[in-house]
A and B are shown apart, each in its own frame.
Chain A
Amino acid sequence: MTLLFRTFVTQFFTSETVTSDAQLRQSIAGIIAFVLTPGILLLLQVFPDYQMTVIRVHAHRAPAGLIDDRLEWIVQMLSVYSMMTIGLIAAMSWDALTFDRRDAMVLGPLPVSGRTIVLAKLSALAALVLGTSAAINAINGFLFAVETSDLLGARAFLLHLIGFAAATIGGAVMLFSTVVAIRNTLAVVAPARVTAIAGSLFQCVFVVALLCAVAWTPLVGPAARRSGWGLSRAMTDALPWSWFVGLFETIRASPRRDWPEFVMLSRRATIGLALSVSAAVVTSVAAFRTQMRAALTPVARPGPLGQARALRALARGLTLGDRRAAVVADFVVTTIARNRAQQSYIAMNVAVGVAWALIALSNARGGPLTALASTPFILGFWLTVGLRASFFAPGELPAAWAFRVVTFDRDTSLLAGVRAASFALVAPPIAALAFFAGGASLALVGVLVAAILASSLVLTVDFVPFTRAYEPGHAKLKTRWPLYLVGTSLVGYGLPRLPVWLLITIAAVLHIASRVTAHRWTVEPVDEEPDDASSVTRLDLASARGV
């Protein structure tokens, strides 16, 4: 049981795209940094407002109840953060939330009872959700308790800390259990490809929610609510994260704990938590046999979603009769249509674009129509960024020998195929959204921008996508974030305003430039290591010191 538990826990932190433990640790560190940063930003947003409220109340310039309002607001925002973060982590561990083919192959022949396996899996899931949510909320909880109880004594500190932990961790457990229950249910009733796509969609949704939660915090605050910008009380009370505010008030023994609305919220939180955990347990137990049986029968047919007939036909058609380019384009589109590893990178980046567009729409100074017109291009830019990221994720790396034994270095067909595939994947969504936002003329601009993006993309790679070992951190977000900001602004707000003739010129220049750089493209040799590199290990201590 212990061994199984450890194995299942390890599965949450393994990845088939990375090829070494060091790379895996680097990837995990990147994810931790991504999920912790919004928490810190939220604290920076909410605490100054709370301190101002306390000063105003002590100066008798505001009613005493306003402090409780602010406390509830902070708990609600940090519960949202906790829930969205754990939702993202659940979506990233999507495949490991239930039993998979390898579990069936390894555990099936062993003399281990189904009960032991299910218990070990549930224990691993519990360890994941409690461990990560505690880690995510520990600093926030401590700072919250210190900040909100400095004038009230040690008992208040303890009650605020426990109340905060119950609200944030309780919310996280409820959401995580719900995702597990959905994952189990899909594994039983839905085709495997639908389940895989649902995982990428969840990832996208939680990234959008996390980013929007940070950006919209001021909008849904009490002050905003009074000014009519935020959501109504009835609406917010219906949202699951509000329920845990009731639990917080009950645990910290606030005078408001007996108010009917907080009693109701607290009850909803308790019932919701119990129901979601029960659903996760029941679906795990009920689905165990079905999943183990289904897991032994791998997906036999690609299905309509995996076929991606229209996109593949478009990509092949864009290669204008170049046979080798056509099969490369077809390979790129098919790989993305059928592999969750690649879809995941695209989903994450598109989510950033969606969040950006939503925030831009809510803050639109030039009117919502102007902001709406830029939305397709912002999404197109981030779709291209995601596409590029997915190129670096290997798709069944050992099978890449097929390219190395056939294709040759400095082959323009490779570049032409990848460019055609990129255009086929980027142009339809941009054009469709642009048509919706601004009609046929904006759709035409969308097609031209997609051509610019596709040519720009192939200028930044020099290999057949998915055929190289993954290198964590190749996106260099720490140093290149200004580039992404400039790119978003340029593509979202700059390019759509240029005249069509200029867009055509830019697209043509980039097309020619990419053809000129085709000589850089290569197929990586297999097992090829220069003797000096393989026999001498160089310790780069000088650069390590700077880390």
Chain B
Amino acid sequence: MLAADHLSRRYGALVALRDLTFEARPGEVLGLLGPNGSGKSTTVKILTGLLTPTGGGVTLDGVDIAADLPRYKSQIGYVPEEPHLYSYLTGPEYLRLVGGLRGLPESRLADKIDRFMQLLDVYDDRYQTLSSYSKGMRQKILIAAAVLHDPRIVILDEPFSGLDVSAARVLKAFVRAIADEGKIVVFSSHVLEVVEQVCSRVVILKEGRTVGHDSVERLRSTLQLPSLDAVFASLVHEENVDSRSRALVEAMKA
């Protein structure tokens, strides 16, 4: 089990996370929800080992990940929010780089890369550099790079951004399928409908704190609200959407 234990993180005077506690269990998809600036990205970076918390810690099966970070890193796959890739490499070259750094043998890697490229419908573009890939194609490469080494933990930050409808449907099913394989999956997204479809439980963040942490069904029933969208609006106290949109139209016309 992956557990965040009283996590906090400061950037100078700015407090990004305060006393955040949750756990992600094997076989389930844990959703991270929250408005911009709520601390989702900071949480994800701490969970991937890219950032160290200023308070609290992350444990895997009860062992602090900081005790053996290399071993922990070897067990995770990560799809970042922004599709930053080396644009002068081709798709297979990028996957070979990441797979090689993960220590996968070349013979196994070549076969895996071919299969991922074919299954993700980017095989025909295998000789093209990533600079010519669309955002959705880049996202597919990132997803392939994250799971290439069959990780135990998969951390996904807006993984379906830029994907077309059919690819997104396939990959939503894929995320659920890898959880069914007993993997730990953490899924951070703004898209509430996707979170509702994919995640078993959600952690809702606001200003670096947890304002809700439970299964989607229980949150809905507890708050007596019809959808995750309504639960989210209620917990993060979103201001009136209509008045904000009217103000935007007025700003446009001014």
Question: Chain A interface (Cβ within 8 Å of chain B)?
Answer: 297-302, 306, 323-324, 326-328, 330-331, 334-335, 338-339, 395-396, 398-399, 401-408, 525-529, 531, 534-535
Which of B86, B96, B129 meets A299, CB within 8 Å?
B129
| B105 beta carbon closer than 8 Å to chain A | yes
Contacts of B69 in A (CB 8 A): 408
Pair A399/B84 contact, Cβ less than 8 Å? yes
Are B129's CB and A402's CB within 8 A?
Answer: no
B101 at the interface (CB under 8 A from A): yes
B48 and A405 contact, CB distance less than 8 A: yes
Q: Which of A299, A306, A404, A535 contacts B50 (CB 8 A)?
A: A404
Determine if B101 and A334 form an interchain contact, defined as CB atoms under 8 angstroms apart. no
- CB-defined contacts of A331 to chain B, threshold 8 Å: 86, 97
CA–CA, A393 and B15, complex, Å? 33
CB <8 Å contact, A402 and B98: yes
Which listed residue, B78, B84, B100, touches A324 by the CB 8 Å rule? B100
- On whether the beta carbons of A534 and B97 are closer than 8 Å, the reply is no
* Interface CB pairs A-B, < 8 A, 21: A297-B132, A298-B132, A299-B132, A300-B132, A301-B129, A323-B100, A323-B105, A328-B101, A330-B97, A335-B86, A396-B86, A398-B82, A402-B97, A404-B50, A405-B49, A405-B78, A406-B98, A408-B70, A526-B45, A529-B12, A531-B12
Extra 7 A-B pairs, beta carbons < 8 Å, given A396-B85, A405-B73, A405-B76: A297-B132, A330-B100, A338-B129, A402-B97, A525-B52, A527-B51, A528-B51
- State in angstroms the CA–CA spacing of A527 and B51 once bound together: 7
Q: CB < 8 Å: which of B12, B51, B98, B106 contacts A323?
A: B106
Query: B146 — nearest CB in chain A belongs to which residue?
Result: A405
Looking at the complex, which of B87-95, B188-196, B234-242 is the stretch in contact with chain A? Answer: B87-95
B11 partner, pick from A405, A408, A529, beta carbons under 8 A: A529
Measured between beta carbons, the chain B residues less than 8 angstroms from A339 are 88
Residues facing A in B1-37 (CB within 8 A) are: 10-13
Question: Are A403 and B101 within 8 A (Cβ)?
Answer: yes
Q: What residues of chain A lie closer than 8 Å to B85, measured between beta carbons?
A: 396, 399, 402
**CB-defined contacts of A306 to chain B, threshold 8 Å:** 88
Q: How far is the CA of A527 from the CA of B80 in the complex (A)?
A: 14
A301 → chain B closest CB, angstroms: 6
A406 touches B101 (CB 8 A): yes
A504 CB to nearest chain B CB (Å): 30
Q: Is the CB of A405 within 8 A of B129?
A: no
- B10: chain A residues within 8 A (beta carbon): 531
Residue of B nearest to A526 (CB): B50
A405/B54 contact (C-beta < 8 A), A327-B101, A398-B84 known:
no
B227 close to A (CB within 8 Å): no
Q: How far is the CB of A329 from chain B (nearest CB, A)?
A: 10
Q: How far is the CB of B72 from chain A (nearest CB, A)?
A: 10
CA distance A330 to B86 in the complex (A): 13
The answer to the question of B128 belonging to the interface, with a C-beta cut-off of 8 Å to chain A, is: yes
Complex Cα gap A395–B89 (Å):
12
- Which residues of chain B from 28 to 87 have a CB within 8 Å of any chain A CB? 45, 48-52, 54, 69-70, 73, 76, 78, 80, 82, 84-87
Which 10 residue pairs are nearest across A and B when measured between Cβ atoms? A327-B100, A408-B70, A398-B84, A534-B12, A535-B12, A338-B88, A406-B101, A300-B132, A298-B131, A399-B84
B88 partner, pick from A335, A401, A528, beta carbons under 8 A: A335
Report which of A297, A528, A534 forms a contact with B52, defined as CB distance below 8 A: A528
In the complex, what distance in Å separates the CA atom of A326 from the CA atom of B104?
A: 12
Contacts of B115 in A (CB 8 A): none
In the complex, B102 has a CB within 8 A of chain A: yes
Cα A257 to Cα B129 with chains together (Å): 59
| Residue B174 is within 8 A (CB to CB) of chain A in the complex | no
Report the minimum CB–CB distance from A270 to chain B (whole Å): 44
Q: Which residues of A contact B48 (CB under 8 A)?
A: 405
Q: Would B50 and A405 count as touching, CB distance under 8 A?
A: yes
The smallest C-beta distance from A328 to any residue of chain B, in angstroms, reads: 8
In the docked arrangement, what's the CA distance between A534 and B13, Å? Answer: 9
Q: Which chain A residues lie closer than 8 Å to B182 at the CB level? A: none
Specify which chain A residues have a CB less than 8 angstroms from the CB of B99 in the assembled complex: 327
Q: What sequence of 0s and 1s flags, for each residue 123-136 of chain B, a beta carbon within 8 Å of any chain A beta carbon?
A: 00001110110000
Contact, CB under 8 Å: B88 / A302? yes
B81–chain A nearest beta-carbon distance, Å: 11
A298 vs B52: C-alpha distance in the bound complex, in angstroms? Answer: 38
Query: Is there contact, CB below 8 Å, between B86 and A531?
Result: no
Q: Which residues of A contact B104 (CB under 8 A)?
A: 323
